[in-house]
Amino acid sequence: MKKVAVGISGGVDSAVAALLLKEQGYDVVAVHLYCWPPKSEIEKDGLTREEWIKKNGCRADEDRTFALKTALELEIPFTVLDFSEEYNQKVITYFYDEYEAGRTPNPDVMCNSEIKFGLFLNWALENGFDYIATGHYAKNVCNESCKLMIPTDKHKDQTYFLWKLTQKELAHTLFPLGEYSKNEVREMAEKANLSVAKRKDSQGICFVGNVEAREFLARRLKENPGKVLDIHGEEIGKHDGVWFYTIGQRGGWEILPSAQRKFAGKGVTPVFYVVSKDAKKNILTVALENEAGGDQFQVGEINRISKTKWNLDHLIVRIRHGGELIGARGMETEEGLPVILDKSIRGIASGQSAVFYSEEGECLGGGVID
């Protein structure tokens, strides 16, 4: 009997993943990954753990309680792994450093590669497990080699967050939800009388919980007021610090009275989007909707998940989770992969992930936009 360590988050997806694997005859163990907050972060604020949890709206204890309930209801062993200090060092520090440098990071991608399919997978293999499993909506098709595929429920597709995986990780990973829709998953949870059947999905930063990115950034990055310029270099507003804004963001800064009068005189209400950030000069550049798009970017080092050959004349790329799959073409150079999109889009951000797909729905790999 194959032994599987299932990452049980306390949500419905991972619970049903464990349920399905147990029904399929696997020897299933529930493993809850505790990643936030670490002891060092609590001590830094001079609070008790209970005070810290209450102040910061963290639901770590609630998640662990539901994870344990799930294991008890499924009658499978339960264990907790504390990766909180490693998570703080590898994911949260990266998150802050990237924003402070004026880039737009993706902590979920880093969390998956460093924690779930890094530390957790290594622990599982060292402790006699054949596989790990998670509640990700993705398909892993393994024959002679493995292919990461878009799941049946395309609206829940999470392959975007998994582009850093390699054959080594995929060979020891199961994604039980790949063939199911979210509605079917909830129905299975209700049928099995699982306590998490109707629990709301967690939003926000991986493992941190339902906290706005700006609020979380403000824990370490302080306000630093600066200028907002339009694409012609004219000062039209003020901002609180470039790291609080993301490329493609609509509004969120103060427009100067002179700029307001200018547009009022034209009888229009302007809608601006962030198009660039200069962290060194603390300048935010914005543009009107018809000026805010772009169709070119460069990706640095590429991770190729499988042996499937890339057709650089007919690429399909996504630059944000849940974003549109867009046709593109590229040309490999020593510096990376310059990409030209078939159409102009908003939100092309340095530091964000660009993930590539085949026409058949295989996630081929990806890289970080320069």
Active site residue 142: no
Sign, CA dihedral 337-137-88-51, equals positive
> Which residue out of 35, 58, 146, 206 is catalytically annotated?
206
Separation CA 36–CA 87 (nearest Å): 8
SS3 sequence of the chain: CCEEEEECCCCHHHHHHHHHHHHCCCEEEEEEEECCCCHHHHHHHCCCHHHHHHHHCCCHHHHHHHHHHHHHHHCCCEEEEECHHHHHHHHHHHHHHHHHCCCCCCHHHHHHHHHHHHHHHHHHHHCCCCEEECCCCCEEEECCCEEEECCCCHHHCCHHHHCCCCHHHHCCEECCCCCCCHHHHHHHHHHCCCCCCCCCCCCCECCCECCCHHHHHCCCCCCCCEEEEECCCCEEEEECCHHHCCCCCECCCEECHHHHHHHHHCCCCCCEEEEEEECCCCEEEEEEHHHCCEEEEEECCCEECCCCCCCCCCEEEECCCCCCCEEEEECCECCEEEEEEEEEECCCCCCCEEEEECCCCEEEEEEEEC
Separation CA 84–CA 86 (nearest Å): 5
Residue list for the binding site: 7-14, 33, 135
> Which residue out of 35, 58, 111, 146 is catalytically annotated?
111
Residue list for the binding site for ATP: 7-14, 33, 135
With beta carbons less than 8 A apart as the criterion, state whether 9 and 202 touch: yes
Q: Could you list the active site residues?
A: 111, 206
